[in-house]
Structures are given as structure tokens and as C-alpha cells.
Amino acid sequence: MEATTTTAGVRPAHRMFCPPAGRRFVLISAILASSMGFIDGSVVALAMPAIRADLGASLVDAQWISNAYMLLLSSLVLIGGAAGDVYGVRNIFIAGIALFMATSFACALAPDSGWLITMRAAQGVGAALMVPGSLSIIAKAYPPETRGRAIGTWAAFSSLTTAAGPFLSGMVLSFGAPWMWRLIFAINVPIGLVALAMLFLRVPADRPAGRRPLDAVGAVLATASLGLLAWGLTAFGLSPDSRLASPWLWLVAALAAGGLFIAWERRAVAPMVKLELFASKAFSGANLYTLVLFFGFGAVLFFLPMTLVSAWGVVEWQASLVLLPLSLFIAGLSSAAGRLADRFGPRLPLTLGAGLVAASFAGLAVTMELMMLWTVTLPVFTVMALGMAILVSPLSTAVMLAAPDEDAGLASGINNAVARVAGLMAVAALGAVAGIVFAAGLPDGADVAFGARPAADLPADIEAMRVVASNNAFRWVAGISAAMCFAGACLAWFTQPHWTTGPQRSADRATNRLE
């Protein structure tokens, strides 16, 4: 037997679940699975011009190729985490990987944009089961004395693969045929098969923590509310004759569904969201900070690669290098930033980090017309990478400090979902803004779209106008994002705690939980 029995005749839970020889397979499978999820977002943004050219997709199609995935992931990630407690973490993790892998293959075979959007939505369901499971299975498989080291290894390797993924994908896109974007999705199949083989063959099934109902009604209402919100924001970028209804009607319906969601969560036996947590000023502030900051971050990360490739003519592998400092800085500086938050509280790093991100986005807005990738855009974007590295770890600290210990997992899940909702809203809302600004900079009847390569060579004057219009559209995206991140810095300063070291520190922490 792989585990021993205690003197009381009861085996420790972590030994019952996974023997020491199987834990490395848990760790490797978690790294592989989380890497698939992390890489997916950045690589799809990089490949969007190629996808649009190959499938003839419009800007709205491009928004929903991204948003369909984020919609299902953000609305179901909390119930995905809870499902592991009900049906076993290993079982749900396996189901998530299998679904993500199968739908990735279906994305690779997409004959048109409608099919790709549908499969991206299904891929989001798989990710909602897989993403929380990658960390949960490590926490459940490793004993407390080695769990921190295992999670650190998972984070480090996930950061490295996240950094390498866009570069390798950019190389494929730069030097391959137009259909090569399909390999970005297809590569998930062998990765998923390796992870599944290890989980099936070397990792035993865990015992569910307990039977409790899943909040299916809450999941449906959350999905409806976010979907209506995203569609309403996207509709502002459509011409009036192509709209199914007024964008304001969709937004009102989204608010109504959101109100029903809140009402249901107040009375649900096992709610997705524990609303009492928001009574804390620090917890509400940390999540509002997450919403506005990741709104700006998600918008720039989605539209910048698209603009570089489609308007500046930058090849994909070079555009991917602009994203590289983000992963490297987060991997290298998050630990130090976390120690800073532990020592002085999260207010200072959250405020400083958001301020740097805001300054970077403002710099992008001002310098876009220069079109100097290596000497201007990359250094300015690197300031954003530094800001994100400073704030990512302290943001987790802020959320954990503001919630009771027994709700730490739920609080973390809520914050993760808020970050993904912010990205969903950003692509929908600022996609509409970018489309309107871009169209205003071109003569009537010009057959070009923001973020897409022209199907054929354009006359020199129209091409010049297209490039200028693309830069102006992104300037609006970056400017609005800068304002959102500056608002985040203000939120952090006025809602998050700060303390001095020494005896007063514990009292300050306790007060923060009660506020």
C-alpha cells in the first residue's frame, strides 16, 4: 500500500489520494493543462489577422472568437471549481482537459467563423473545469510541507510556457501557409493526451470532499447576463441596419438578468458567489480594482498584436516578442512583490503597479503614429510589464487578506472570474469604439476593416488612410485603457490597507478583514 495508517486508524487525506510516486505526474499534468489555458488567449489575439483572412471574418466575428471563450470561462469557472469538490478533483480535471482538447481540435477544423465561435464557447466550458482543477489537484495531492514548493514549480513552468507559446506560434504564423493558424489549436491535442495518460495511469482518483448542490441556476443567470452585456456592447459597433435590436435593449436585458442572479445568490443553498464577502471595503475595492485594471489590460493585449500585424505589417514572430517581457517580468518579480505586500500591505504595490500600467498605455496612445516598434513601442510596453509584475501577486494577497480564511478559495475564484469578465467587457466595448473610429477615418465604401489584412493591394492613398485609421483606433483603445488603470490606482490607494512592520501589523490585518 502506498500510504500508512495513523494510530487512530484513519489515513491522512493527502496520502489516501496520491502516493509520493504519483505526485510528480500530478504536477506535470497540471503544468501542461494550465499552459494550454494560459497560452490560448495571447496566441489567439496574435493569430487573429490570419484567422480573419482565412475565414473571411469581420471585426464582430473576431470579437466573438475571443468573447465566446471568455464568456463561458468567466461565468462557469466558479461552478467548475465547486464541481471538483462534489465529483472529485481528478475526475473534473480529466473532464476539463478532454473537453478542451476535443474542442481545440474542432477549432482547428473550423470551416467558417460561426463554427469557430461555437467551438470556442465549448472550449471555454472545458477551460472552466480545467483551469481551477490545475491548482486544486496540486493542493490536494501534496502534503502541506511540500505544497508551497509544488505550487511554486507549477507557477514558474507555467510562466515559461506562457512566454514561449506566443513566440513559437508567431514563428509558425510568420513562415507558414495562411491555414497554419489551425496548428495553434491542434497542438493542444498531443499536449492534452500526454496529460490525460499520466492522470489515468499514474494518479488515483480522489475522494470528493462532500456532496452539495451545484448552483446551476446561478450559472445560467450569470452566463445570460454576461452574454447579453457583451452582445449589447458589441452591437454599438454595428451599423443600425445590421442590428437585431437596439444595443440599449440588450444592456437593459443584461442588467435584468444580473439582478435576477444577485437575487438568486442571496437565497441559494450553495451560491456561486457569497455576497456577504462584498461587505468588506477592502474586498469590494480589490475586485473593483481588478475589473477596471484588467479591462484596460485585456483590451490592449487583444488589440495591440492585431494592430501591429494588420496595420504596421509586423510579422507575427516579431509581434510576439513585444509580449515576451510580460511573462518574464511576472515570473521574475512576483515573489519580491509578494514579499513587499506581506511587509507593508497591498496598497503601495497595487497603486504603483496600476500607475505604471496607466503610464504605459498613455505612452502607447501618444506614440502610435511613430510606428517605431523596437525603439519606442517595445520599451513603452515593457513599462506595462513591470507594472503588472508589481501588482499581480499583491492583488492575490489583497483578496486573501480581505476574506475570512474559510472563504479563501471562494474569494480567489471570485477575483479570477472578475478578471475574466473584465477582459470580456473590454473586447466587446472597445472593439465597438475601435470599429467606429476606424470607419470614421476612411472614405465611404472603402472595403477594409480594422484589424484585418486587406484581401488585395489597395491604392496607395487608401492604404495610407487605412494605416492612420488603424493607429487612431488603437490610440482610443489605449487612451481609455490608461484612464481605467489610473482609476484602478486611485481605488487601490483609497480601499486597500497599509501597515508598518512590528506588533501593530497583526492588528492592522485583523481590522482589514472586519472593515
**What is the tens place of the pLDDT at every residue in 22-60?**
889 999 999 899 888 877 766 888 888 889 989 989 888
pLDDT at 148: 66
The larger pLDDT score, comparing residue 180 to residue 478, is at 478
Give the confidence band of 168 by pLDDT, cuts at 50, 70, 90: confident
Q: Do the beta carbons of residue 175 and residue 131 sit within 8 Å?
A: no
Residue 313, classed as helix, strand or coil, is coil
Q: How confident is the model over 79-104, as a mean pLDDT?
A: 90
Q: Do the beta carbons of residue 272 and residue 218 sit within 8 Å?
A: yes
* Cβ neighbourhood burial of 1 (10 Å; 0-12, 13-18, 19+): exposed
Residue 28's CB is within 10 A of a number of other CB atoms, namely: 18
Give the confidence band of 409 by pLDDT, cuts at 50, 70, 90: low
Q: Which among 149, 482, 513, 488 is positioned nearest to 345, based on CA atoms?
A: 513
Evaluate whether 15-208 and 279-515 have a shared fold: yes
Whether residue 491 is predicted with pLDDT greater than 90 in this model: the reply is: yes
Give the confidence band of 4 by pLDDT, cuts at 50, 70, 90: very low
Whether residue 7 is predicted with pLDDT greater than 50 in this model: the reply is: no
**What is the tens place of the pLDDT at every residue in 270-293?**
888 888 889 999 999 999 999 999
Highest mean pLDDT range out of 313-317, 384-388, 452-456? 384-388
Q: Which among 10, 31, 27, 28 is positioned nearest to 146, based on CA atoms?
A: 27
Tell which CATH architecture fits domain 15-208. Up-down Bundle (1.20)
End-to-end Cα distance, the chain: 49
Give the confidence band of 84 by pLDDT, cuts at 50, 70, 90: confident
pLDDT at 12: 40
CA distance 75 to 73: 6
Residue matched to cell numbers 487605412: 466
Long-range Cβ contact pairs of 102-109 (< 8 A, separation 24 or more): 102/126, 104/36, 104/185, 104/186, 104/188, 104/189, 104/192, 105/185, 105/186, 105/188, 105/189, 107/182, 107/185, 108/182, 108/183, 108/185, 108/186, 109/182
pLDDT at 408: 65
Give the confidence band of 193 by pLDDT, cuts at 50, 70, 90: very high
Q: Which residue ranges make up each domain of the chain?
A: 15-208, 215-269, 279-515
Give the confidence band of 147 by pLDDT, cuts at 50, 70, 90: confident
- Poorest-confidence range of 38-42, 187-191, 229-233? 38-42
Q: How confident is the model over 117-123, as a mean pLDDT?
A: 95
Whether residue 470 is predicted with pLDDT greater than 80 in this model: the reply is: yes
**What is the tens place of the pLDDT at every residue in 244-261?**
788 899 999 999 999 999
pLDDT at 9: 36
The larger pLDDT score, comparing residue 462 to residue 507, is at 462
Whether residue 504 is predicted with pLDDT greater than 70 in this model: the reply is: no
CA distance 141 to 145: 12
Q: How confident is the model over 459-470, as a mean pLDDT?
A: 92
Instruction: Work out the percent of the chain whose per-residue pLDDT is above 90.
Output: 42
Tell which CATH architecture fits domain 279-515. Up-down Bundle (1.20)
Give the confidence band of 505 by pLDDT, cuts at 50, 70, 90: low
CA distance 218 to 267: 11
Rounded to 10 deg, the angle between the 188-202 and 89-108 helix axes is 160
pLDDT at 515: 54
For 215, list phi and psi in degrees, rounded to 5.
-85, 70
pLDDT at 376: 97
pLDDT at 3: 39
Whole-number average pLDDT of the chain: 85
Highest mean pLDDT range out of 216-220, 224-228, 293-297? 293-297
